[in-house]
Amino acid sequence: MEKPIVLITGATAGIGAATARLLASLQYPLIICGRRKERLAQLENELKDKTNIFTLNFDVRHRDEVVKAIDSIPLEWKNIGVLINNAGNAHGLDPIQTGNIDDWDAMMDGNVKGMLYVSKPIINMMIANNQGGHIINIGSIAGKEVYANGNVYCASKFAVDALTKGMRLDLNPYGIKVTGIHPGMVETEFSVVRFKGDETKAAQVYKGFQPLKAEDIAETIRYVMEAPTHIQLADITILPTAQASATTVKRTI
């Protein structure tokens, strides 16, 4: 069977880039989206010999950018079969009383509102195409457990979990699958961004154990995408073996 078109947000780094590379190697046609134009062009150039690629340059936090970008998708690319809502961010690790409001806005805008801005028009395309579809939302263990100083980031990821469940209910009549994937500790740019470029502090997060890699989550995404049509993998929490909860990690040092 012809492979479905897959749209990936946050495709220029981490889990998004790893997923794009894996799916391109399997010859899925890809719409790769990102806010960093240069990185997007580099990824397109890397993958264009493996599969058909279309790029969209926008920041999920800005509704007007999202609308303009999605409206620009050519007719031949509008039959999107899989949406991977991967774009998101974490900023700061402060107690609620000293948290930075700009950081709060960035997390709520990117992790929650951005996911909604992208999802609504793609969902309506899937409904109009009347061929089912699959939405995969990348959450976090922070959407399952609140931890100290995680406050707003955890709240944003709890919202992702709730929205995933709500989508599954609302889209059930249309045969659209909805999956939530909630990783634990994955070594990507995530902690560097959270600690505002402090690579030394970010490295301490993953010290003394083997964290997940972006490629591990990409493989999980592929697995749920390729499950038989009668199977909907609804909710997956994936952790490194050394991690038992959001705050319990067995370290060797």
Provide the annotated active-site residues. 153
Closest by CA position to 161, among listed 62, 237, 110, 217: 237
Tell me the sheet residues that pair with 186: 212
